[in-house]
Structure 1
Amino acid sequence: MFLKKISLFNYKNFSEANFEFDVKINCFVGKNGVGKTNVLDAIYHLANGKSYFNPLAVQNIKHNEEFFVVDGEFEKNERTEQIVSSFKKGQKKILKRNGKSYEKFSDHIGFIPLVIISPADNDLIIEGSETRRKFIDTVISQLDANYLQKLIQYQKIIMQRNALLKYFALNHVFENDTLSIYNEQLNSLGQIIFEKRKQFIDDFLPIFNRYHKEITNSSEQVQLVYESHLFEADTITLLEKNLAKDRALHYTSVGIHKDDLSFQIDNYPIKKFGSQGQQKSFLIALKLAQFEFVKKQSGEKPILLFDDIFDKLDEFRVSKIVAMVNEDQFGQLFISDTHPERTEEIVKSTHQSYKIFNL
């Protein structure tokens, strides 16, 4: 599978731009602010129906314009697949495959497997648990449509339960029977999601450890530790035990929507005890493991986006990534970089076909 070409209209800083791509390596080079990352984000947009960096659709429209369109042509299983994402102010976002609109964007997730590695991934370390849950859910959802639907259902019921808790507080009433209906639904869905996440970590961890050793050539021990209330008790037990707390807070304080993934190095949190270099290596290993995991599970090589990472890596780590390209571990690559000469030197050393776009 690969992206053959893409057209952008009023997307971020582009009024109109068209690119035709090499099946292997494509590089966008130029100074900061010219739109290199925006092209990568447009590719991500086609795979996921949204931006990686600006989740609000209106933020992706070029200033002083009313709409944007991103139109891409992929080759998948020897068939041409046209994916179009568009949005006009005041209207719903539209996602089409071969001219037909998706009723649910979730039906598109996983059709174009894709992994992005970006400086923005540092949020996985410094931000709260929601960011790391999103990482787990993104990987599993690309491969398991049923998981994604269960997750969407769970989130809707949490919103309904929270609304009910607020209603109770505002009206000084309490209806345990109504609350119990939500508790039972959360218990059923929560257990399925918990088991899937647990299995994912068990399968993912050996791949992550292997990539970390390859990239760092290091004896450091790194850990991904899945943290969930459901290791203590089932969801119904947790909800009943925390009922007084939930009524006081007006929201649901326990459940799989509070899960976290602890990033550790030598059994200590990497956020506090890892150097900048250790954190970068950890994140790149995490994303390369995501790539490998999706590739194994789906039978396809995902499109891989490298956003400005060569500027953040030393020569040793760059050489390791180049070696992986040489071994044909990756499919189609897209790279952004501020140094044209460095980029050309790196891609030439892979002995693969490539195109360089100067922006």
Structure 2
Amino acid sequence: MILKKLSLINYKNFDSKNFELDDKINCFVGANGIGKTNVLDAVYHLSFGKSYFNPISTQNIKHGEEFFVIDGEFEKEDREEKVVCSLKKGTKKIIKRNGKAYDRLSDHIGLLPLVMISPSDRDLIIEGSDTRRKFIDGVIAQSDKKYLKDLIKYNKVLAQRNSLLKYFAVNRTFDSTTLSVYNDQLHGYGTDIFNKRVAFLEAFIPIFQEQHQIITGNNEKVSLVYESKLLNDDLSRLLEDNVDKDRALQYTSVGTHKDDLSFQIEEHPIKKFGSQGQQKSFLIALKFAQFQFIKEQSNTTPILLLDDIFDKLDEHRVSHIVALVNNENFGQIFISDTHADRTEEVVKQIHQSYKIFKMG
């Protein structure tokens, strides 16, 4: 899949900008703060209907303006796909595919597979479980429509159950029959979500370990360990056993929305026991594994966005990344960097056509 043209109006720091893109490598270079990353984020926005960095959509509108428009012309399996993402203050975001607006934004997910690698990925290690769950869900959802629908339905029922628990507390009442209706629905959706996550990690972990070995060139033992109460118990039973606790807390304390993924090196949490270099290698391996997994599942080569990663890596790791992308496994790559000379030096090693856009 190739993005041929990109057009931005009032997106972040751009008033109006058009790019004619190379089929292989596109580099955006210049000083910090001039919008290199914003170009990559616009490409991400076309794929996922949201920013990689700022989930509050209106904050992606250029300061002082009322709307933004991102327009992309893609080539996918010898057919053209025109995707437009637009937002006007006070209205809902609209994504159009070939002139037709989606009824639900979630229907768009998976059409344009894409992987972003960014320094902000460190949040996967340092932030809470929610960030790691979103990573799992994001990878599975790009190739499994039902999983995404189950996730949306689960979260809706969860919100309703939590509202009911608050209502019980405020009104000093309790109705087990109504609660059990929500329990049954959570059990159904939650069990399906849990089973898909288990199956995903069984397939994903070996790919991740292989990528890690290629990037580091050594045999450090790394793994991803799924942490879920559903590994040992049934969700409906867990909900029943925790009803008193949930009533006291006024929210649902068990379920797949509490699952986590432990990042481990030599069987220890990488957050505590991994050096900065080890953490960087771990995250890049994770993202390259995501790329390979999505490619295998969707039979489409995702677009790869490399945001400012050369700045944060030593030459050894950069050369391993170059070696990884220097084959036919990869399609179109977008790179942002502060140093034009360094970028050109790196992309020349990849032996593919490229364009360098000097920003500023």
TM, length-normalised to structure 1:
0.99
Deviations 1:109-152 (A, max 9, x none): 00000000000100000000000000000000000000000010
* Secondary structure at 2:73 match in 1: strand
* Secondary structure at 2:10 match in 1: strand
* Secondary structure at 1:14 match in 2: coil
1:156 corresponds in structure 2 to 156
Q: Does 1:234 align with 2:234?
A: yes
Unmatched 5+ residue regions in structure 1? Answer: none
Deviations 1:53-79 (A, max 9, x none): 011110100001111000000001111
1:270 corresponds in structure 2 to 270
1:15 corresponds in structure 2 to 15
2:272 counterpart letter in structure 1: K
2:6 counterpart letter in structure 1: I
1:5 corresponds in structure 2 to 5
* Secondary structure at 2:15 match in 1: strand
* Cα shift at 1:350: 1.1
2:233 counterpart letter in structure 1: A
1:58 corresponds in structure 2 to 58
> In 1, Cα distance between the equivalents of 2:259 and 2:289?
21
2:286 corresponds in structure 1 to 286
* Cα shift at 1:313: 1.1
1:324 corresponds in structure 2 to 324
* Cα shift at 1:329: 1.8
2:307 corresponds in structure 1 to 307
* Cα shift at 1:314: 1.2
1:252 counterpart letter in structure 2: T
Instruction: Give the paired residue count.
Output: 359
1:341 corresponds in structure 2 to 341
> In 2, Cα distance between the equivalents of 1:262 and 1:208?
14
1:135 corresponds in structure 2 to 135
2:29 corresponds in structure 1 to 29
1:109 corresponds in structure 2 to 109
> In 2, Cα distance between the equivalents of 1:315 and 1:328?
23
Deviations 1:156-183 (A, max 9, x none): 0000000000000000110000000000
> In 1, Cα distance between the equivalents of 2:174 and 2:326?
64
1:215 corresponds in structure 2 to 215
* Cα shift at 1:232: 2.0
RMSD: 0.6
Q: Does 1:179 align with 2:186?
A: no
> In 1, Cα distance between the equivalents of 2:356 and 2:114?
21
1:32 counterpart letter in structure 2: N
1:71 corresponds in structure 2 to 71
* Cα shift at 1:312: 1.0
Deviations 1:291-316 (A, max 9, x none): 00001111111000000001111111
> In 2, Cα distance between the equivalents of 1:213 and 1:77?
32
> In 2, Cα distance between the equivalents of 1:119 and 1:321?
15
1:254 corresponds in structure 2 to 254
Deviations 1:183-226 (A, max 9, x none): 01111111100000000000000000000000011221111000
2:197 corresponds in structure 1 to 197
1:165 corresponds in structure 2 to 165
* Cα shift at 1:273: 0.8
> In 1, Cα distance between the equivalents of 2:51 and 2:202?
29
> In 1, Cα distance between the equivalents of 2:174 and 2:284?
49
* Secondary structure at 1:349 match in 2: helix
1:206 corresponds in structure 2 to 206
Give % identity: 67
> In 2, Cα distance between the equivalents of 1:91 and 1:295?
35
> In 2, Cα distance between the equivalents of 1:225 and 1:324?
25
* Cα shift at 1:229: 1.1
2:357 corresponds in structure 1 to 357
* Cα shift at 1:344: 0.4
* Cα shift at 1:252: 0.1
* Secondary structure at 1:32 match in 2: coil
The runs of 4+ residues in structure 1 deviating greater than 3 Å are: none
> In 2, Cα distance between the equivalents of 1:142 and 1:155?
18
1:146 counterpart letter in structure 2: K
